[in-house]
Amino acid sequence: MKKEIESYCRDYMRFLAAAKTERRAYAEAVRLLEAKGFKRLEDMKSLKPGDRVWRGYHGKTLFAAVVGREPVTSGIRVVGGHTDAPRLDLKPKPLYEKGGLAYFDTHIYGGIKKYQWLVLPLALYGTVVKKNGKKVDIAIGDAAGDPVFMISDVLPHFGKEQLEKKAKDLVAAEDMDVVAGIGSVAEILKKKYGVEKDDLLSAELEIVPAGAPREVGLDRALIAAYGHDDRVCAYAGLHALIDLSKGQALSKTGAVVLCDKEEIGSVGASGMESSFFENTVAELIDRQAKSARDIDVRRALERSQMLSADVCAASDPHFPDADSIGNEAKLDGGPCAIKYTGAATKSGASDARAEFVAEIRRTMDDAKVEWQMGELGRAEKGGGGTISKFMARFGMDVLDFGTPLLNMHAPWEIASKHDCYHTMKAYRAFFAR
């Protein structure tokens, strides 16, 4: 078992290092899928049981499926995670100079504690689309010998006034700007990447922590990395689906969705609020039944089931005030099922029905998955949400089920190897039941 956990986590850490943004997670996932015989859905005229397909959207949101014996109209089993993570986006006109230094002006994406992002080595990733449609991919900060970027902070000697402030005011969002060099860096962008200053108007450039995932602790039982939320569940779902042996017949079609924009509310064309998922189910039915009637698509959606594959907060012994004592998720306790998210009054929660929770309990216990059940933090302390409510909208059963993390949304988050592995095992059991 120990060997399987180590080997799985090595692969996961490799994925994380390659997938620092949603676009890169998408590209890496497609590479893994195609290496294992998954074909582009658009290229398939019909579908038969056992077929392996994927469909992408805007290079960010991805759907992959192994076709089951029963038709898609009888419902599919979905593991849905997200591949975007909190970060700093470059503004459309990011370059400016101040006091002889060149800066990137940034805009926060997702929920962060701003102070955690100061004085850290940072990397720059993204895509610049020139007026003629030509794309230039940028990746600076993680390859050997690459420079990094950094947000500066005032020294302790002169920081007395700053330290009197509330933590949220230690640095203003508008001042979360990244040192990009001394003097004009526009020339370097032009020379080295062929990118003009105006090309940055049509670009998606992201500042993320530099550095590959690292093992933590003398026993190496933990992994520190940027973007565990939610690549730890996204990768687990992807791995579980890809790893189904070729001849393994699933009764229901098994699918993963790796979506974008979860951290800013699942909005936008590549977020789960869009029609991408419905459209993809219609595309599947169209290839099975030769025409996807509206009622068939609705039936398929309503009869489907989903594990909303997103991380949860592990109890931190140093911050017990954040926990719902007795219902807290424990680090190393296995993936955690969360019946409802939301805040103190369950507002915004999709709240899975007890019958579905019982089915999942049976599935996990039969497959010897080490899992736990918990709540998302102490009532009235805050709250959170996942993509579950956007899928529950179709009438399908949805349960939040994912890996517990320490320091969620920090530049470096911590997960336990045991939990990473059992998350994958849980999704595998869900597909195979």
Q: How far is the CB of 236 from Mn ion (least distance, A)?
A: 13
Judged by CB under 5 A, the chain residues 262 through 321 that form the site for Mn ion are 310
Q: Could you tell me which stretch among 42-50, 150-158, 170-178, 222-230 binds Mn ion (CB under 5 A)?
A: 222-230
Q: Give all strands (DSSP E) within 83-212, no chain letters.
A: 87-98, 101-109, 122-129, 135-140, 178-182, 203-209
Stretch of 143-151, 221-229, 348-356, 387-395 contacting Mn ion, by CB under 5 A:
221-229
CA 318-323-328 angle, to 5 degrees, is 110
Minimum CB distance to Mn ion, residue 21 (Å): 15
Q: Is 352 helix (H, G, I), strand (E, B) or coil?
A: coil
Tell me whether residue 73 or residue 350 sits nearer to Mn ion (CB atom): 350
Give the nearer residue to Mn ion in terms of CB position, either 28 or 230: 230
How many residues are given for the chain? 433
Q: In the bound complex, what is the minimum distance in angstroms from residue 402's beta carbon to Mn ion?
A: 8
Total residues contacting Mn ion by CB under 5 A comes to: 3
Q: How far is the CB of 419 from Mn ion (least distance, A)?
A: 15
SS (H, E, C) 53-90: EEEEECCCEEEEEECCCCCHHHCEEEEEEECCCCEEEE
CB of 52 to Mn ion, least distance (A): 26
**Burial tier of 278 (Cβ tally within 10 Å: 0-12, 13-18, 19+):** middle
Which among 244, 239, 296 is positioned nearest to 52, based on CA atoms?
Answer: 244
At closest approach, how far in Å is the CB of 234 from Mn ion? 9
Cα torsion 330, 331, 334, 339 to 10°: value is 50
In the complex, least distance from residue 302 CB atom to Mn ion, rounded to whole angstroms: 25
Residues within window 107-126 making contact with Mn ion, judged by CB under 5 A: none
Over the window 230 to 249, marking each residue x when it contacts Mn ion by CB under 5 A and - when it does not, the resulting string is x-------------------
Select from 247, 223, 273, 252 the least CA-distant residue to 414. 223
Q: Which is nearer to Mn ion, 264 or 289 (CB)?
A: 264
Of 51 and 230, nearer to Mn ion (C-beta) is 230
Task: Give the sign of the dihedral formed by CA 224, CA 228, CA 234, CA 236.
Answer: positive
Verify binding: residue 229, Mn ion, rule CB under 5 A. yes
Which is nearer to Mn ion, 50 or 268 (by Cβ)? 268
Which CB sits closer to Mn ion, 5 or 405?
405
Stretch that binds Mn ion, among 97-105, 229-237, 290-298, 412-420 (CB under 5 A): 229-237
Q: Which helix (H) or strand (E) holds 253?
A: strand 253-259
**419 touching Mn ion, by CB under 5 A:** no
Residue nearest to Mn ion (CB): 230
- Beta carbon of residue 86, minimum distance to Mn ion (angstroms, whole number): 7
Determine the Cα angle at 190 with ends 189 and 196, to 5°: 100
Q: Of 38 and 401, which has the nearer Cβ to Mn ion?
A: 401
Do 268 and 43 form a contact (C-beta atoms < 8 A)? no
Q: Is 397 in the site for Mn ion (CB under 5 A)?
A: no
By beta-carbon proximity to Mn ion, the closer residue of 138 and 311 is: 311
Among the candidate windows 87-95, 162-170, 228-236, 334-342, which touches Mn ion by CB under 5 A? Answer: 228-236
370 and 308 Cβ atoms separated by less than 8 Å: no
295: tokens are 């009622």
Strand locations in 130-211 (E): 135-140, 178-182, 203-209
Say how many C-beta atoms besides its own lie within 10 A of residue 101's C-beta.
15
Query: Whose Cβ is closer to Mn ion: residue 51's or residue 229's?
Result: 229
DSSP 118: T
Least distance from Mn ion to the Cβ atom of residue 100, Å = 37
Angle between helices 228-242 and 417-432 (to 10 degrees): 40
> Measured from the CB of residue 409, what is the shortest distance to Mn ion in angstroms?
6
CB of 199 to Mn ion, least distance (A): 31
Please say which residue, 62 or 292, places its beta carbon nearer to Mn ion.
Answer: 62
C-alpha span between 246 and 278 (Å, rounded): 26
Near Mn ion by CB under 5 A, which window of 1-9, 113-121, 151-159, 223-231?
223-231
Footprint of Mn ion (CB under 5 A): 229-230, 310
